[in-house]
Structure formats: structure tokens, C-alpha cells
Chains A and B, each alone.
Chain A
Amino acid sequence: MKFKVSIIISLFAFLIWGCEDEPIPTPYEPTPYEIDIPFGFPTNLNIPDDNPMTVEGVELGRYLFYDGRLSGRTHSDSLMSCATCHRQERSFEAGVDHPDFPGGFPHGVTGLNTHHVMLPLINLVWNSTGYGWNGFLYPDNPAEELRNIEDFVRLTILAKDEIDSDTTTVKNLFQSIQGYPQLFEKAFGSSTVTFQNIERAVAQFVRTLISANSKFDKYMSGDVQLSQSELNGYVLFTTEEGADCFHCHGGYGNPLFTTHLYYNNGKDTEFTDPMDRFLISGDPMDHGAYKATTLRNIEVQGPYMHDGRFATLDEVIDFYSHDLQVSPYIDPLMHHINDGGIQLTPTEREDLLNFIRTLRDDEFMTNKEFSAPAKFPDE
């Protein structure tokens, strides 16, 4: 009897002891990332079904966004990440004062200039129309590989005039960097780094870049009053007899301050850029048409227009006031075209600029959640 009891106890002890070293699989339970929709903003978000936002995905994306090894290289001379060009203090655009890109004209690792200047990475979670100056990435594109921010990440890494790398090199590099496989596991349930998950993580982080706390936003919510000059500028902004900016650039009823649509705004009389909107739509009226950019934080961005022809907002306002060019492709919304522009007086010009400056969101441009991480996972 004692023998049997001993056997049973031994077996039980063995089972318990045997179980102690069994790895307990960690369940993959990422934390959903909730986007707070600011007052008046759209409730429809452009988040692909196969890349839901998670806290872990956003965290990983933030590391990747800022890690120069996204170039697939480790030498200090050839590091390049999204943040190399997209600077937070410039509303995630280059800015004319970019230390490495004089005038705000970015070039890639190999020195080739990009075809167009940059667009800011703000409020893109509300862009369902198309990404890029000509909208070549759009959600219902028959070409499945050209649909969303995830694809933009891949194209940026592959492009000769940007990061000029390849998917295998990049994913292998991050697989080898201490700390990253664990972050991929937390974000996507596998420590194996895939390029698709790199795209997804960066896209998730970019979708968190929301700017909605400018002086104008506070005016919308009744918290502050605009100055008389700013109010005068607002009237000009939102009236056809004024500057009529609102049809393309929004306002109180469209606080994105863009339609994300494409317009020929009268910059030229001849159109030789093969990458205008016509390339995508095939509509002859889209020659010379480009995306109307958001005017949020426009003050700190630049250079302006798809080719960066204007360095300052003053130049932009002067263009719309006096220098419009007539062509058969001018958008009908440019109804002041035959006057050469909206013909602002010096006072009106200053008022309009003062209103546009109310769209600056300093909190966004200093928000630590969007800033470079204090250190990378292997540091």
C-alpha cells in the first residue's frame, strides 16, 4: 500500500515538475487603438479591415517611422526613415528650412530629387479619396497594391528617389535588431518580421497624426474669439466675392480644410508633368490638376504647390490674387480667372493671411506621442 502511494505521489510530482518548464504561450491580445473624432470631423475613417489600429501596432509604427534603419542600411551616411523628410515641427512636411534639403526639396538616399515636393502627413485617416498629389493611391483602385498608406510605405522604401531599398533587406535587418521581433510579436502576434507588417505598423502610426486643436478649432467650439483681422480673413475665405477658398479648402462645415480633390488652379498655360491628375483619371480636364492640400498648419510648411514653386505663403496669396494663368483646363471653381485672380487689397491680403494662420496647431507639432522615441528598442 505504501508503495502504491509513493508511486502515485511520485507521478503527481513528476507531472507538476514536468509542467513547470513548459512555456506558457502568451495569447495575442493587442489593445484596440481608439481614435477620438474631433468636433465636426468626419466619422468615417479610412482604416483597412486587414489592418485594425492597435496600441501595440502604433507603438511599433512610431519606432519604425523614426528609425533610419528603415533604409535597410546601418551606416550613418545612408540612414533614412519617414521622419528624415517628414518633420513634426513642419506638420510632418519638409519645410523650406530643412537642414538637408535646401528649400524643402527632398531627395533620396542616392541624391535623386523626388518628382514632386512633399505633402504633410496629417489627418490622413480621413482621406478616402486618394493619396499623393495626383491621388494615385485610392481605396477602390483595381490595382490592389496601390490603395492606401500601407502601399505608400512600401513604395517609399523601394523608390529610387527616396529610400531606394528592397523589402527583403529591410525586413531581415529589423529581424536582427534586438527588441524589434518582440514588438512585432506584440503588435501582430508573430516575432517573425514581415515587410507587410512593417507597412501596417507605419501606416497605423501615421493614422494617429491628428491635428485638430488650432485657434480656429477653439473658435469653432466657442472657447476663443478671433481677432477682427482674422474674422475679416474668415469672411474672405468663405465668400465667393471674397477669396473663395472654401469650395476647395473647406471651412467650418468641412474642418479638414481640404476636399482631397484635384483642381487645375491656374498655375500654368502648358502642362508637361506626366504625373498630374490626368495620369490617374484619364480625364482631359485634369491636365495640370493636383490635390488641394489641407490648409491646417500650412503656415509652417513649404515649399508650396506640387512643384514647390512658392517658398512662402505670401507668394501663394499673391499668386491667387493677381497671377492666375488662363488655360482650357482651369477648374470652373476658379471663377476669378479672367481677372487674373481675386484682386485682394493689401489689407485684405493681410486679413486672409491672419485667418490662415489661425489654422496652426502648435500642440500637434509638439505632441510627444508623435515625436521621436527617446531610444530605439535595441538601445
Chain B
Amino acid sequence: MNIIFKITIILSFLVVVTTITSCSTGNPEPEYQSGKLKLEFAHYLNGQELIFDSLMYTNEAGNNYLVNEIQYFISDVTLHKNDGSKILLDGWEDIHYVDTDISESSTYSLADDIDIGDYKKIGFTFGINEEKNNTLMFVNPPKSFMFWPELLGGGYHYLKLNGKWINELQQVSPFNFHLGIGQIYQSYPDSIIGFIQNYFNIELPDYNIIINNNETTTLQIIMNVENWFRTPNTYDHNQWGGDIMQNQDAMQLGVQNGHDVFSYNIKLVE
């Protein structure tokens, strides 16, 4: 009798505890709703998809030129809200490498879950900021092939845009339009007394970017290649020659021209 009584008491206690526990949350917490963002990079020239290795283009300075390959880093991808606040995505992991010879590099799927809602626009750093741009940060190819020599400032190229143009002697001449850390020379080219961080921030125009729950929003980001050589500066290959890594004046033109190089094209939701 005693045992039955005890078991009854215990069972009753368990039922009460279970009931109380199950009811203790009251109203369920709202489920966190988030989506993803994917960027797809494309490369256009004069409004059309870039045709590589064809001497069919003329820049603002009148140089006939071709593009052989483009390689670059973007980082610090940031979504801007309508209220002026910003969300930096993926933290330290957000340095993405794009290489026109490697098709899979044209897609950048950001890892972070993003609050659902409307966002005003997107921005990013072209290149890598000073804090992150450390030599030997990337030891694996192809990113490691972008290294910028230590004595020229170290870290990595922001951009390699390689091509050829018809020079004033009517020769087909290679150009390496490379951007990275610039140098201040006391006496060129032997004595460097300082460095200049040439990375720059890009904010694309306002564009209603919608992040939906459990969906991936894809933005196609277009590099308009001709803009590297115009607005605000007309960049003349005949003036700056085939290589500019040790020429801050030339790189500075590239930095200034780079702000309007990117645009949106289409937006997809999956």
C-alpha cells in the first residue's frame, strides 16, 4: 500500500512538473528570419560583355587596346539600411578573389545570415584594407600569386588588369594596370620613405535590395572596364606606359577612376 502511494505521489509530481515546464515559455519566441546574399561578378566594356584578347576597344584617351585578364580582391562587403545603419558581412572572412580565368571565382556566396528586410544599397572595399592586407595571409594559389612585393609595401595586389595597346610608335605594347600599396620615393627608384594605402571604398547606387526569409538574393555586380580609364581622369597608356606598380601618380588616377567602375545589373531571388 505504501509503495503504491509513493509511486502515485511521484507520478503526480512528475506530471505537474512536466506541465509547468511545458507551459513556462508562454508565447513562443518569434523565429529568427534571415536570408543569404550572393554576388556574381561580370565584366563589361562599353555596355557589352567584355571580349578578351581583341584589339577592338578604344579608351577615352584614344588608345586602341585589348584586355587579356582581370584579377582583383573585394572585401568588407557592407549592406546599407534605409535608416543609415550598415551591416558588415562575414567579418574577416570576406576577402573575395575574382579571376576572369577562373569561372567559379565570379560567384561570391556570403556566409552570414542576414536579417530579412529591405536594404538601400551595397558597398565594399576595392582591394584589401590596411588592417587585413598582410603578407603571407594567403599562402595558397591563386590568391598567393597576387602578392605585392615587400619592398613595395607588401600585402597583395588589389587589381591586375593586363592587356595591350597600340602605342605612339604603332607597336602593340603590353600594359599591366596593377593597383596596390603605393610608395613615396626620396630618390626614385631606390629610396622609399613611405607607403600609401590605395584601397578604396565603393558604394553602389541606391537599389532596393530585399532579403527574404530562407532565400538567397543574388546581385550581379558589373565591372565596367572602360571606367578605369575615364572619369574623372582620362588615363592615357602612352603617358603612363606598361607598368605602374612603382608609379603612385598613375595608381592614384586608377583609384580615383575606380569609384564608378562597378554597377548593378540584374537581381535574382532563389
Contact = CB atoms under 8 A, between A and B. Distances in A.
Interface stretch (A87-95, A156-164, A253-261): A253-261
A332 B68 contact: yes
B174 A239 contact: no
B55 to A, nearest CB: 9
Given A253-B147, A253-B148, A244 B243 contact: yes
A26 interface: no
Interface string A30-63: 0000000000111110000000000000000000
B174 A330 contact: yes
B243 A40 contact: no
A252 B135 contact: yes
Interface string B135-155: 110011100110111111010
Contacts of A254: 141, 144-145, 147
A42 B68 contact: no
A337 B151 CA distance: 25
Interface centre among B139, B176, B244 (most CB of A within 10 A): B139
A255 to B, nearest CB: 9
A152 B59 CA distance: 46
B173 A337 contact: yes
Interface of B: 53, 68-69, 135-136, 139-141, 144-145, 147-152, 154, 156, 162-164, 167, 169, 171-176, 178, 189, 241-246
A128 B140 CA distance: 10
Contact of A129 (B141, B171, B189): B141
Nearest to B177: A332
A270 to B, nearest CB: 17
A331 B156 CA distance: 21
Question: Which of B136, B141, B242, B244 is most buried by chain A, counting CB atoms within 10 A of its CB?
Answer: B141
Interface of A: 40-44, 128-129, 234-235, 238-242, 244, 246-247, 250-254, 259-261, 284-285, 326, 328, 330-338
Given A253-B144, A332-B162, A336-B242, 5 more contacts: A234-B151, A239-B245, A240-B176, A241-B243, A335-B242
Nearest to A246: B149
Contacts of A337: 173-174
Contact of B147 (A43, A239, A252, A335): A252
Given A241-B189, A254-B147, A42 B141 contact: yes
B148 A128 contact: no
A368 B163 CA distance: 47
A238 B151 contact: yes
Nearest to A329: B53
B139 A40 contact: yes
B155 to A, nearest CB: 8
A239 B150 contact: no
24 contacts: A40-B136, A42-B139, A42-B141, A239-B245, A239-B246, A240-B176, A241-B246, A244-B243, A246-B147, A246-B149, A250-B145, A252-B149, A252-B150, A253-B148, A254-B141, A254-B145, A259-B145, A328-B172, A332-B163, A332-B164, A333-B162, A335-B173, A335-B175, A337-B173
Nearest to B156: A253
Contacts of A326: 171-172
A42 B162 CA distance: 25
A23 to B, nearest CB: 47
A58 B136 CA distance: 30
A285 B68 contact: yes
Contact of A235 (B151, B171, B175): B151
Contacts of A338: 167, 169, 171, 173
A51 to B, nearest CB: 21
B85 to A, nearest CB: 37
B178 to A, nearest CB: 8
B53 A284 contact: yes
A310 to B, nearest CB: 23
Given A252-B135, A254-B144, A285-B68, A238 B152 contact: yes
A240 B243 contact: yes
Contacts of B173: 335, 337-338
Tell which of A240, A242, A244, A333 has the most Cβ of chain B within 10 Å: A240
A43 B162 contact: no
Closest 10 CB pairs of A and B: A253-B147, A335-B242, A240-B243, A238-B149, A332-B162, A332-B174, A335-B174, A42-B140, A44-B140, A332-B68
Given A42-B140, A252-B150, A333 B174 contact: yes
A331 B189 CA distance: 25
B128 to A, nearest CB: 13
Contacts of A285: 53, 68
Contacts of B164: 332
B63 to A, nearest CB: 14
A326 B171 CA distance: 10
Contacts of B176: 240, 247, 332-333, 335
Contacts of B189: 239, 241-242
B245 to A, nearest CB: 5
Contacts of B175: 332, 335
Contacts of A252: 135-136, 147, 149-150
B149 A43 contact: no
Given A238-B152, A335-B242, A43 B139 contact: yes
Contacts of A261: 145
